[in-house]
Amino acid sequence: MSTPSSTPAPPRAPTASPPAPAPALRGLVRDTGAERHDAVHAARWTLSGTAKVTGDVAVGEARLRGLAAVGGRLTADRLTVHGTLEVVGPVEVRGSGVFEGTFRPMGPVHLGAGNVRGIARVARELRVDRMLQVAGALEAPSVRAGLLELRGSANIPGEIVSLSGVHARFRGDSSLGPITARDVVLRGPPPGLVPSILRRVFGGAAHVMVERIEADRVELSAVTVAYVRAPSVVLGPGAHVTEVVGTIVRQHPSAHVGPESRSRPPHGLSP
């Protein structure tokens, strides 16, 4: 009597070993004058001058004064820049990032908190877990922040999403995409009320265009918005909204709701 042959068990797939932990950050890199590195991996990096890093930067804290160019990824616990920082790869700052001067990242940016005092031109998405403060000019495809406070100008064609609020006082021409937040307050300088010093610096009153706002509360002055949806809407001087879905609790006499109206030019004059 023959016994049935046993079928061999299929070979087990090799189990993937867990990734090796990143080496601890140790040491100090101090650059003065003009320096070049393949990579920077240290507990602290200080710069006073010019530095070019062809690869990645991973530091606990970076204090950069002057011009720094990073060809790869930049990760840090804290980052302070006084001057110009250019980064080709993504930027990840787990704590606070302070940028006083010019910040030009080509990859996505993720900050714990951000403070921009100057110009930030972000080529990819900008995400900030807590507060993002801007005093100057901000350009980014889209912004997500716990709270956005802007004083200056902005060009953000994509979504602006905030868990708390978006508060802006514009000092230059600005264009914003759809805004979603709990509280939205946007103010531009009304024509004729711009101080002379601002007219010399910025060339007159700011022209601010916003695609859409959805919030619990909206307050607008001297800005133009295509669509607003909010239970509470306050329209201050110079506000123009094409369509409002919600309750206008207060409206200045110079504010306008509906399609923009233009009077016909006098006979014999072209528009």
Instruction: Give the closest residue to 31 by CA, choosing from 79, 65, 54.
Output: 65
pTM: 0.82
Classify residue 214: in a domain, yes or no.
Answer: yes
Residue 265 has pLDDT above 50, yes or no: no
Provide the phi-psi class of 73: left if phi over 0, else alpha when psi is between -120 and 50, else beta: beta
Q: What is the mean pLDDT of residues 216-241?
A: 97
106: which DSSP letter? S
Query: b vs e for 58-71, b when ≥16 Cβ sit within 10 Å of the residue's Cβ?
Result: bbbbbbbbbbbbbb
Residue 196 has pLDDT above 50, yes or no: no
117 and 96, same structural domain? Answer: yes
Classify residue 246: in a domain, yes or no.
Answer: yes
Instruction: Give the closest residue to 188 by CA, choosing from 155, 158, 224, 215.
Output: 224
Contact 236, 255 (CB under 8 A): yes
Classify residue 21: in a domain, yes or no.
Answer: no
Last residue of a domain, one of 77, 106, 124: 124
91 and 44, same structural domain? Answer: yes
Classify residue 72: in a domain, yes or no.
Answer: yes
235 and 165, same structural domain? Answer: yes
pLDDT tens digit sequence for 79-114: 999 999 999 999 999 999 999 999 999 999 999 999
- Show the beta-strand stretches assigned E in 1-39: 28-37
Classify residue 129: in a domain, yes or no.
Answer: no
Cα separation, 31 vs 33, whole angstroms: 7
Number of separate domains in the chain = 2
Cα separation, 212 vs 217, whole angstroms: 14
pLDDT at 6: 53
Cα separation, 18 vs 21, whole angstroms: 9
Classify residue 268: in a domain, yes or no.
Answer: no
Last residue of a domain, one of 106, 124, 142: 124
Mean pLDDT over each residue of the chain, to the nearest integer: 88
Query: What tokens appear for 206 in the block?
Result: 């700011």
164 and 140, same structural domain? Answer: yes
Classify residue 2: in a domain, yes or no.
Answer: no
Last residue of a domain, one of 70, 104, 124: 124
Question: What residues make up the domain containing 194?
Answer: 134-260
